[in-house]
Amino acid sequence: MAETPEGTPSVDEVYAAVRAGLPELVADLTRLLGLGWDVEADPGEPSHPHLRLHGALADDGRRLVVDVLPVRCRSPLFHATVGVSMLPGDLDPAGLGADVEPAWITRVRALGEAMEATAADPVCVSAHPGGGSKGAAAVKLALADRFGLPRRYAKGWPDEFLGVRTSPVPGERYGEFARALAAQVRVLDAVPPPA
């Protein structure tokens, strides 16, 4: 086990505590989010615990996706990416010359603005910009820049979902963080997508 300052739990202890709380957390989130939401938890043994929430499918074929993971391999800190699901062709390089803002950018902008407007401890939006220099990640950033989407809203996995990332929280606050995040996105998911 890795050495930690006295009184500070190790990564293994943090992950064990998170895993132990997952069944109760999943039940709470399922009740809190209600119909239309799927709550998936993977204890991630031996790597790391992973929580994913999927919102209801909207008329435009997109849904909200929330992914809660450690900030990096073997980290006792967790953050979430709250995003909008991507559709085939959203990041086609041929779209770089388009004059009309892509639907995913419109949705992600509205999501990012709403997340920032409703942010409260422990759920705060990270100010760090999204990155990527190759493939779909490079197209994502080029489109974000072209249509004025703040790069801090261009995070996630381009082939799955894009949106905002939260600031990290310690694993000891995992349950509190996940419940607060679910309450926030439940309200955001009730807002119809921009026309």
- Render pLDDT for 93-123 as a digit per residue (tens, 0 to 9): 887 888 899 999 999 999 999 999 999 999 9
Question: Is 88 within the bounds of a domain?
Answer: yes
The pTM (predicted TM-score) of the whole model is 0.89
Question: Is 122 within the bounds of a domain?
Answer: yes
Question: Is 150 within the bounds of a domain?
Answer: yes
Total domain count for the chain?
1
CB crowding 88-120: b at 16 or more within 10 Å, else e: eebbeeeeeeeeeebbbbbbbbbbbebbeeeee
Question: Is 1 within the bounds of a domain?
Answer: no
Question: Is 141 within the bounds of a domain?
Answer: yes
Q: 59 lies in which domain range?
A: 11-189
Residue 106 · residue 194 · CB < 8 Å = yes
Question: Is 70 within the bounds of a domain?
Answer: yes
Question: Is 28 within the bounds of a domain?
Answer: yes
Kindly report, residue by residue over 39-81, the tens digit of the pLDDT. 999 998 888 999 999 999 888 899 999 999 999 888 999 999 9
Question: Is 144 within the bounds of a domain?
Answer: yes
**In terms of Cα–Cα distance, which of 15, 10, 7 is closest to 174?**
15
